[in-house]
Amino acid sequence: MKLFTYATSPYARKAQMALEFKGVAFEPIERCYSLDRKEDLRAASERAEVPVLVLDDGRTISDSTIICEYLEDAYPTPPLFPKDPFARAQMRTLEDLCDRGFDAVSYGYWMSQLRKNSPEADAMARAARDEFSRLLARLEAALGERQFFFDNVSIADLSAICYVPSAPAMGIAMDSYPRLSAWMNRMRAIPAVAADNDRLKRALANMHDIASELEGPDGRIHWRDTRLEWPVRKGFIDLVVREFRADKMMFPPDAC
């Protein structure tokens, strides 16, 4: 099995941690289409986004949520989904909160840093910090007194660990979130999560600046669904329009 992955992509990290947690052997292939435009990823997935799982017979599965569901079905032990149907639904809701909510806000924050000379940069950073803090409060409440979000480590934990630790880098102190802070330490004691954290640290240490992480060879940046909705919803549509008019937006390739 192979996994198209990328050390700083929360989606790829989630899928890779799930594979490692379950002890499934795979070969990681580090890719980011908007940065390297490599055709193998484009051929494996019509959206050219990571992660993509390539089975031994060449069949492919795209999208982190779908990959994790496949892994749970194909390799049920150790489980990463709760047994109870309602808990499973709640777990998917938390995963969605990370994939859509946290991801869009984080993207908005890093866009504000990348375009820090733009007129809306400060307001955009503030809006992102406010919303990220509210999302942290939701996770803090969802965790309650438990060790993990559900009885055992689940996809909800693997999703959240890709976002919660970035709070300080956005200027948000973790003091108001003592349960999440303790949970982060518990998570990092899990070998698959520790390995992910090491990969992330190495990637961040090698990163030049935000531009080199986001802008492709033609200066365009990957945009999609909730990442686009967030700045529009928050009133930063002028920035979106400028990016579009300057041909700085790259959308997933057409599906057909």
Residues near ligand GSH (CB under 6 A)? 9-11, 32-34, 49-51, 63-65, 99, 222, 224
Question: Nearer to ligand GSH by C-beta: 30 or 188?
Answer: 30
In the complex, the smallest distance separating the C-beta of residue 158 from ligand GSH, rounded to whole angstroms, is: 12
Give the integer Cα–Cα distance in Å for 232 and 206: 32
In the complex, the smallest distance separating the C-beta of residue 64 from ligand GSH, rounded to whole angstroms, is: 4
Give the integer Cα–Cα distance in Å for 81 and 203: 29
Give, in order, the Cα–Cα distances in Å from 118 to each of 26, 104, 123, 128: 43, 19, 10, 16
In the complex, the smallest distance separating the C-beta of residue 92 from ligand GSH, rounded to whole angstroms, is: 12
Question: Nearer to ligand GSH by C-beta: 177 or 223?
Answer: 223
Give, in order, the Cα–Cα distances in Å from 95 to each of 10, 86, 206, 253: 11, 14, 29, 25
In the complex, the smallest distance separating the C-beta of residue 47 from ligand GSH, rounded to whole angstroms, is: 7
Question: Nearer to ligand GSH by C-beta: 140 or 215?
Answer: 215
In the complex, the smallest distance separating the C-beta of residue 120 from ligand GSH, rounded to whole angstroms, is: 23
Question: Nearer to ligand GSH by C-beta: 32 or 135?
Answer: 32
The sign one gets for the Cα dihedral 220, 30, 129, 251 is positive
> Residue with CB nearest ligand GSH?
34
Amino acid identity of 121? Answer: A
Question: Nearer to ligand GSH by C-beta: 3 or 167?
Answer: 3
